[in-house]
Amino acid sequence: METRDYWYWLGVTEDFSASAARRLLGLYGSPEEIFRQHMLPVGERQQEALNASKRRLDELLRERDGFAAQGISWCCPADGDYPKRLLTIPDPPAVLFRKGGLPPEDGKTAAVIGARRCSFYGRSMAERFGRELAGASVNVISGMAMGIDGYAQSAAVAAGGRSFGILGCGVDQAYPSVNRPLYEKLCAQGGVISEYKPGTPPLPYHFPMRNRIISGLADVLLVIEARAVSGTRITVDQALEQGRDVFALPGRLDDPLSEGCNDLIRQGAGILTGVEDVLTLLQIEGPAAGTKGKRGARSAANLSSAQKNVLRALSHDPQHLEEIMMKTGYGLGELSLILLSLEESGWARPVSGGQYVKI
């Protein structure tokens, strides 16, 4: 067997965590030496899992060799294309599967994470940061989940950027299924990545484990919305353990979806006020850095007085047409035309039930 075969065996052994593998690697030096041991200093369940995968080794390797036909590649720490950022974290995966590519070593990366059940404001901010990071050639890393993750990644690829989804299942599966269109775009315009072999279902305990890869592949972590107690905090703790910088988007004091972000800021996280905060940290210069406000001011100057009046009445929270009519004094027909013009110019967006939000 080759070195890569031993790494593969270690990485796909079920019920055997990356942290347990790292501990054994510290004791024995290589997966090959671990493989040669008859008894290891592990629990009974883990020992049996390793023994079972040894007995199935030929089957596992045949299965692995068939993944290429599905467009699936894999790498291990012995390979030159294994992400160097992951080699610096405490428990790097023994094997990584992917459809598409890996984040380029010479490119900057930012992870954007947050609540699955986010607000309209959270969605707007996730899309804004995904779009503006992509415009600055920053690769966007996230978990392809519902809510903040998916909105940020969708905006990044729509802007022509690259984004990479880290999955808690095999890379042959789009989870959640509603994000299948995003999954296809990531495969073509970035990649989907997992330490779990193809065919592995999205089991709940996989997701806290995959979060360390999200933060590990990123140069900086952005938290858009988060409750006081949430899975987002697991990723933040892992990012801090890995030495990554963390920014949090401040929110209203009475908003449960902002409690987590406000608490992170209280504890020392950077205050996320615009993409320039991230670009400055990443030492990115040029037109993308420090010009958003000027671009926005020039665009606003081109709006008519009626458009400006309606824009001032809008917020990131949904408002019904009747509420906007009361604030602005415009009739339904006139207001509808103004809102349509703001929608076409990218300032507003309709939501369900005759409501509008500012973008």
User: Quick check: 149 and 142 in contact, CB under 8 A?
Assistant: yes
For 182, the enclosing helix (H) or strand (E) is helix 180-188
pLDDT at residue 300, as a whole number: 63
109-165+216-292 CATH? 3.40.50.450
**Spatial separation of the C-alpha atoms in residues 325 and 328, rounded to whole Å:** 5
pLDDT at residue 353, as a whole number: 76
**Spatial separation of the C-alpha atoms in residues 153 and 162, rounded to whole Å:** 9
The SS3 of residue 247 is: strand
pTM: 0.83
Question: Which of 204, 208, 172 lies closest to 99 in space, CA to CA?
Answer: 172
Domain with CATH 3.40.50.450 in the chain: 109-165+216-292
Pick 303-358's CATH classification: 1.20.1440.230, 3.40.630.10, 1.10.10.10, 3.40.50.300.
Answer: 1.10.10.10
**Spatial separation of the C-alpha atoms in residues 204 and 326, rounded to whole Å:** 47
Domain with CATH 1.10.10.10 in the chain: 303-358
pLDDT tens per residue across all 359 residues of the chain:
999 999 999 999 988 888 899 999 999 999 999 999 999 999 999 999 999 999 999 999 999 999 999 999 999 999 999 999 999 999 999 999 999 999 999 999 999 999 999 998 899 999 999 999 999 999 999 999 999 999 999 999 999 999 999 999 999 999 999 999 999 999 999 999 999 999 999 999 999 999 999 999 999 999 999 988 888 889 999 999 999 999 999 988 888 989 999 999 999 999 999 999 999 999 997 444 433 433 333 356 688 999 999 999 998 788 899 999 999 999 988 999 999 889 888 888 888 778 888 87
**CB proximity list for 105: less than 8 A, separation 6 or greater:** 83, 84
β-strand pairing of 109-113 with 96-100: unpaired
The distance in angstroms from the start CA to the end CA of the chain is 56
Q: What is the CA radius of gyration of the chain?
A: 23
∠ Cα 203 207 211 (to 5°) = 165
